[in-house]
Amino acid sequence: QEINKRGYKPYFLIDQIENITQKALSFLRSWLRYANFVITSRPDPYIRNLRSFIWDLEYQKILIHPLKEKEAKILFDQYLKIINLRLPKRIINFFKIRILKHIFPVPKAIIYSINYLFNLTQTGVKIDKKTIRELPLHRSGIREKDMTVVLFLLAISFFIMRFLTMRGTQGYLYGVFAILSISSLWIYRLGAKRLLFREENQLIYNSSQELKGKIRKYLPVISHLIASTLFTQIIFATFTLKYNLITLLFALIFSLLPDIDHPYSTIGKLVKRLSEKIEEKFSHRTITHSLIALIILSIFLFPLNFLDWHFYLSSLLGFTSHILYDCLSPAGVKIFYPLKYSCVIPAMESLRVPVGSNREAILSLCMFILCLITYPIASLGWGSIYQRVMADPFSAPDEIKKLINRYEVYCVIEGVWAVSLLPVEKERFRVIAVRGAQIWVEKDEKVYRLTPESATSSIIISRIRIYKGKRVKRIARTIHIKYPISFNSLPIPEGAIVSGRLTCNVHPRLLEEFPVREATEEYPVIQFKPYGKRGKEMVRGDCDLILKYATYSYIEKLKKEAIIVLSGDIIITEVVER
């Protein structure tokens, strides 16, 4: 009020409005009537919303650009001379590379970093590379890109891609996951806009001293290994890819590779000279944590595809998981290097995880529990888990296809017979074949066909559970018959399953004993079809013998008859114990 009586308004310069606190905000609101304000801030959408939220007035923009790299080096060298910072030249050069590689060349951030180091020298602290690595960065030199949104979009795209390639109930399950992901994204964006205004921390400490000793030493390595395991298992489970311990081993090895730019990391100790040169040239968490490194690695490992493409994929996933996990740290990583934007998860720094902190230990424990949960899903697949829990008839054929080439497969069925409508109460059948959505099973020397649709199934299925038996090997061979031969002389071993079409000469009686069955519970694995219209050639006995998944018990019945095979082809599938 006193200023207003004098008839002029003073000008206030507010530097970095993005770091304003709630207390300062309420103070400045009370001065809106009495003063003019000049504001500097970052040009990102959060701050534009913040300006209108605070002032709700018209204003003129003044864009203040960072220094160029050459100008930043000149400022760095001149300010070192002004404060007379006495350190070895190699330490000064290492400090300069770290600061100029990690921050935008804003004068305030550069000067603050030098002053912080100068104050450390006055306290008698030994200044070496380890001390410089742990120096905090000032927020004015950090430009952050929130990668949480990217992760949400990737999750949504994965679920939608999986949804489009699936049929039946499982597809709807992935559709629900996609909807939940989109909802989570919307809630996160809504909350981030509110929480970001409350950020009050001016310094960014990338590491913490909460944990001591060997726990702090080995925790980052353990965290990366667990994060790599979890990330790989989620991707493999989503797309039902082949997952085993060898695949996991490739992911774990390459999850440590990005830290080759740190001489004291697990992999940096193995190649210390190379690691020191990379750190002195590029600094930590820059080029080796970027898309450039990922592209180079994908080209270098491409020959691994010829061994097994699952190993190639898991290696890249392990490398990517390390980069994404480091985005959780307060300073983030330079994914888009040589651009100096720090990619972080999440947007609010107070929710991030410093290296060696209690928060990192808790996060590692939570990820380890998730690994135990996702391992059976990755090794078996979502479809198998869903089928085992829900006993769903639509997912049963896919589950059988995974097992039938390596194991004897059995199924336990609940439902009713399609014709007699008698109940089927947990009856056990042996699976002999599967094609598409159709399953052929055998019980008491009779074959039945099962489908999810009741119109074409021998049993109207309500629940079906799949079980694997002993390990077997299926050997299939084809026999071509060009000359007349007795059916008894065909080399069909015991326990084989036979399919095919043969031209035969049989006694007319057989045509009556093996009619074409269309609406019975038992599937017609043996069919005789006579030649000619209205059966004119039936007297001669020439006909087609159609075998479709005929078990050995049916073959034995045919061998007792006088059947002459004139020509045709049959496929014999033999099941042999391993």
The arrangement of secondary structure in 391-471, i.e. its CATH architecture, is Roll (2.30)
Q: How confident is the model at residue 295 (pLDDT cuts 50, 70, 90)?
A: very high
* Cβ-proximal residues to 23 (8 Å cutoff; 6+ apart), any chain: none
Out of 166-175, 357-366, 495-504, least confident range: 166-175
- Which amino acid would we find at residue 37? F
Residue 117 has a pLDDT of: 86
Query: What are the tens digits of pLDDT across the range 451-490?
Result: 887 778 888 898 999 988 888 888 888 989 888 888 888 8
Tokens 């609101």, residue? Answer: 29
Residue 72 has a pLDDT of: 85
Residue 369 has a pLDDT of: 92
Residue 101 has a pLDDT of: 81
**Cα angle for residues 146, 150, 153 (degrees, 5° grid):** 145
Percentage of the chain lying above the pLDDT 90 cut: 10
Euclidean distance between CA atoms 376 and 388, whole angstroms:
12
Q: How confident is the model at residue 228 (pLDDT cuts 50, 70, 90)?
A: very high
Residue 19 has a pLDDT of: 62
Out of 15-19, 106-110, 379-383, least confident range: 15-19
Compute the average pLDDT of residues 213-234. Answer: 86
**Cα angle for residues 381, 383, 387 (degrees, 5° grid):** 125
Euclidean distance between CA atoms 121 and 185, whole angstroms:
46
More confident residue, 156 or 526: 526
Give the ranges where 391-542 is alpha helix by DSSP (H).
Answer: 396-403, 508-513
Residues composing the chain: 578
Euclidean distance between CA atoms 298 and 258, whole angstroms:
13
Query: What are the tens digits of pLDDT across the range 113-132?
Result: 888 888 888 888 888 888 88
Tokens 């180091």, residue? Answer: 117
Out of 236-240, 250-254, 365-369, 507-511, least confident range: 507-511
Euclidean distance between CA atoms 576 and 357, whole angstroms:
57
| Alpha carbon distance, N-terminus to C-terminus of the chain | 95
Radius of gyration of the chain measured on its C-alpha atoms: 36
Sign for the pseudo-dihedral over CA of 148, 151, 153, 156? negative
Query: What are the tens digits of pLDDT across the range 143-188?
Result: 777 777 777 777 777 666 666 655 554 555 556 666 666 666 666 6
Burial class (CB in 10 A: 0-12, 13-18, 19+), 114: buried
What is the overall mean pLDDT for the chain? Answer: 79
Contact 56, 37 (CB under 8 A): no
Exposure string of 235-265, with b = 16+ CB inside 10 Å and e = fewer, is: bbbbebbebeeebbebbbbbbbbbbbbbbeb
Residue 227 has a pLDDT of: 92
Beta-bridge partners for 443: 446
* Cβ-proximal residues to 318 (8 Å cutoff; 6+ apart), any chain: 228, 231, 232, 250, 251, 252, 253, 254, 255
Compute the average pLDDT of residues 383-403. Answer: 83
Query: What are the tens digits of pLDDT across the range 367-383?
Result: 999 899 888 888 877 77
Residue 308 dihedral angles phi and psi, to the nearest 5°: -170, 120
Compute the average pLDDT of residues 247-265. Answer: 89
Q: What is the DSSP string of 408-425?
A: EEEEEEEEEETTT--EEE
Instruction: List the one residue out of 482, 480, 498, 487 whose CA is nearest residue 564.
Output: 487
* Cβ-proximal residues to 14 (8 Å cutoff; 6+ apart), any chain: 20, 28, 37, 38, 39, 40
Residue 21 has a pLDDT of: 67
CA 578 to chain centre: 34
59 pLDDT higher than 70: no
Contact 543, 531 (CB under 8 A): yes
If phi over 0 gives left and psi between -120 and 50 gives alpha, with beta otherwise, what is residue 442? beta
E-only strand ranges, 11-139: 11-14, 36-39, 137-138
Euclidean distance between CA atoms 280 and 178, whole angstroms:
44
Euclidean distance between CA atoms 41 and 285, whole angstroms:
26
pTM of the predicted model, to two decimals?
A: 0.67
Q: Where are the domains of the chain?
A: 2-54, 69-142, 207-380, 391-471, 474-577
Beta-bridge partners for 461: 415
Contact 201, 343 (CB under 8 A): no
Residue 399 has a pLDDT of: 85
Angle at which helix 45-54 crosses helix 22-29, to 10 degrees, equals 40
Compute the average pLDDT of residues 428-447. Answer: 89
Contact 381, 166 (CB under 8 A): no
* Two tokens, residue 499: 């399919």
**Cα angle for residues 377, 382, 387 (degrees, 5° grid):** 110
Compute the average pLDDT of residues 68-92. Answer: 85
Residue 68 has a pLDDT of: 80
* Cβ-proximal residues to 93 (8 Å cutoff; 6+ apart), any chain: 280
51 pLDDT higher than 50: no
23 pLDDT higher than 80: no
Residue 17 has a pLDDT of: 63
Instruction: List the one residue out of 538, 440, 532, 543 whose CA is nearest residue 501.
Output: 543
Q: How confident is the model at residue 198 (pLDDT cuts 50, 70, 90)?
A: very low
Contact 44, 50 (CB under 8 A): no
3-state secondary structure (DSSP) of residue 36 = strand
Instruction: List the one residue out of 137, 567, 110, 91 whose CA is nearest residue 344.
Output: 137
CA–CA distance from 167 to each of 50, 174, 299, 577 (Å)? 47, 11, 35, 34
Other C-beta atoms closer than 10 Å to the C-beta of 130 total 10
